[in-house]
Amino acid sequence: MLKRLTTDTINTILIIGVILLVVEIVFFNGGLVFSLLFSGILMYIGWKNYAPLWRKVLFWVGLISLVFTIFSMIAVRFLLVAIIFLFVRNYFKSREKPEHITPEILDKHQEMPHHEPLLSQKIFGDQMTPDHSYEWQDINIHGGFGDRVVDLSQTVLPHDEAVISIRHLVGNLTIYIPYEVEVSIHHSALIGRASIFQYRKNKVLNQVLSYQTQDYRHVKPKVKIITSMVSGDLEVKRV
């Protein structure tokens, strides 16, 4: 669904929603701002010292009041109806004409494009490999939010094949590859961009990209990179 929506469609929905909100506040429901403010104050007082029972009651009364106030707004109802309509429309379109997602494969003749783990499973924050010489270990991690930097210029790769597998939610991934190392890359992303040596992909929307250097199958050392993310940029550079 995300791939099928254009920026103009999203902007149009948001603009109509803002106009409806302003019209509702100015002409039909001037007390809406007061209701939102009152609910917020109740929640703040209750949350500030949540231990006493009466403060818990205040917090939940404020939260319920806030939810009902928000869902009673014309603008919010419009956005919900628009989202449901777009979802149903795209669903039936996909039934009539299924979307085929195929890897984008670059020309293989085109040279463009029990140890502590090097990177740990980390939900928040940035990570990078050591900035000094280190013993190589294959990387296989899940990430949450933040940037990841993998620098292979500071290590000696194994004679056969090194593997980097990173699954990430939100954040950018940068990988530095020595010039003498052959590379195979399999990258998938919901939203983002990709830069692999001289190759550039300025918009990756629910796509799979595959890249392989010319002599990957025959020359060593080599590294296989498998990455997937929800939102973020992939950048692979020579060093």
For 77, the 3-state DSSP assignment is helix
Dist. CA 34–CA 37, nearest whole Å: 5
- Planar angle of CA 120, 121, 127, nearest 5 degrees: 55
| Pair 75, 20: CB distance under 8 Å | yes
Give the residue extent of every domain in the chain.
Answer: 7-96, 104-238
Residue with tokens 């500030």: 48
Dist. CA 85–CA 107, nearest whole Å: 41
The DSSP output letter for 52 is S
At residue 101, the pLDDT reads: 36
The tens digit of pLDDT for each residue in 147-203 reads: 888 888 878 787 778 888 888 888 888 888 988 888 999 999 988 889 998 888 888
The tens digit of pLDDT for each residue in 102-124 reads: 444 445 454 544 455 666 665 55
| Pair 169, 229: CB distance under 8 Å | yes
At residue 127, the pLDDT reads: 64
CA dihedral defined by 56, 61, 66, 68, rounded to 10 degrees?
Answer: 140
The tens digit of pLDDT for each residue in 21-62 reads: 888 777 777 777 788 888 888 888 888 877 788 888 888 988
> What predicted TM-score, i.e. pTM, was given to this entire model?
0.51
* Rg of the chain, C-alpha, whole Å: 25
Dist. CA 176–CA 178, nearest whole Å: 7
